[in-house]
Structure 1
Amino acid sequence: MAVNVTLRDHLLTRRSTGIAFLGEPGPTAEELQTLLTIATRVPDHGKITPWRLVIVEGEARRQAGEKLAEIAARNTPGLDEASLEVERQRFLPAPLTIAVISSPQDHPKVPEFEQLLSAGNVAFNLLHGAAALGFGASWVTRWYAFDAAAGEMLGVRPGERIVAFVHIGTAKTALEDRPRPALGDVVSYWQP
């Protein structure tokens, strides 16, 4: 197999674009289908598809934020208006957010942990797919990824959990890379 220089260079320079730096335009309907196809080409031992995706776009972004603010207000009585406004903005300004949901299946040979990793790979492939299509993206989990009422509002079923919210849009600025770990600090070689 020949070296794919473009892919290699992408992987060597991949970085997230923070939500505050994402804006319009987002993917077209056709680009979204390509993105979803890329996202779902992940390791899936047993071919059991232990994940689902929920798309939040258009006016639904604002509506989901309003519902998050309502849940936050119930969770924290007396929450101030500025904090509620932060919750209302959770799915803005990025034009597209995709919730990746781990949906484990009973399987005698595939432990739930492996299925969870497969869902994580879907989230990571969304980042790669967004970059391949010329978009910026950010994988985020915040309180609402772990809150039962927020999960229910977003369509999480019993036994499922949110793995990631991947926010996607056009990068509004070029960002500098952050420090990465020294390989010597995180890599070892096993020897008998």
Structure 2
Amino acid sequence: MSEMVKGSPEALEFLRKRRSHPSVTMSEPGPDEGQLSDLLTIAARVPDHGKLVPWRFIVYRAPDGEKIGRFLAGLYEKKNGSLDAAQMEKELTRFTRAPIVVGVVSRAADYPKIPLWEQQLSAGAVCMTLVSAAAAAGFASQWLTEWCAFDEDAGAYLGLKDGERFAGFIHIGTPTQPPVERARPNLSDITSNWTETQ
């Protein structure tokens, strides 16, 4: 077999073991500016039919997280009633759990030859590539959405423009504990061979 197609056993082993870390278990430091730029550059290397770039990034840093948390807590209370102490703490700390949170924004739109669904899938690929790149760089990472990803008022505050939506928030920091493995699907339950049906 030629060198061109031998592959990378180390990369495959990394992918076999990659695991998300709960954002509440992350700490400083997060990626510095150079590392973050590299991670985002890697994340942008995904399939993109038509070269539309139907996604973009919004970076939220921990010093801004408290202000964001106060807004989200107030908005949640306005829409859902008063919060108990645990829920209030959850809202206040949504953007302070990790040193860096990257909002991956889907800006999919109608194009004559590029289905909307393909553009949305491309944004999902960006999220997964960023999670994997952060983990490969030695950081803890987790892809979350939560209610604020789907709320119009929260989205506007967090930087969405008309027609945009969040594909997810990628939390990146330093792990404080090993990730816990979870049950994975049995391959035979989710794989089949195509057969022609009459």
TM-score (norm 2): 0.93
Stretches of structure 1 lacking an aligned partner (at least 5 in a row)? none
Aligned partners of 1:94, 1:124: CA distance in 2, in Å?
Answer: 17
Say how many residue pairs are matched. Answer: 192
1:13-67 deviations in Å (ceiling 9; x for gaps): 1110111211111001110010000111010000000011110013111211111
Match among 181, 185, 188 for residue 185 of structure 2: 181
Amino acid at match of 1:80: D
CA shift at 1:160, angstroms?
1.1
Aligned partners of 1:80, 1:134: CA distance in 2, in Å?
Answer: 36
Match among 55, 62, 65 for residue 61 of structure 1: 65
Superposition RMSD on alpha carbons, in Å?
1.1
Tell me the residue number matched to 2:50. 46
Match among 119, 144, 151 for residue 155 of structure 2: 151
Native 8 Å contact 2:139 2:173 kept in 1: yes
Q: Which segment is superposed worse, 139-148 or 81-90?
A: 81-90
1:125-168 deviations in Å (ceiling 9; x for gaps): 11111012110100111111111110000111111111101100
Match among 85, 99, 106 for residue 103 of structure 2: 99
1:56-114 deviations in Å (ceiling 9; x for gaps): 01311121111111111211232334422210111122101011111013321111111
TM-score (norm 1): 0.96
CA shift at 1:177, angstroms?
1.2
CA shift at 1:3, angstroms?
1.9
Tell me the residue number matched to 2:125. 121
**Residue 132, structure 1, aligned to residue 136, structure 2:** yes
Aligned partners of 2:92, 2:30: CA distance in 1, in Å?
Answer: 20
Amino acid at match of 1:7: A
Any idea what SS the aligned residue of 2:194 has? coil
**Deviating runs (4+, > 6 A) in structure 1?**
none
Amino acid at match of 2:68: A
**Residue 141, structure 1, aligned to residue 141, structure 2:** no
Any idea what SS the aligned residue of 2:141 has? strand
Identity %: 42
Change in 2 beyond 3 A, CA 1:94/1:107: same
Q: Which segment is superposed worse, 73-82 or 173-182?
A: 73-82
Any idea what SS the aligned residue of 1:164 has? strand
- Computing the radius of gyration from Cα coordinates, the structure with the larger value is 2
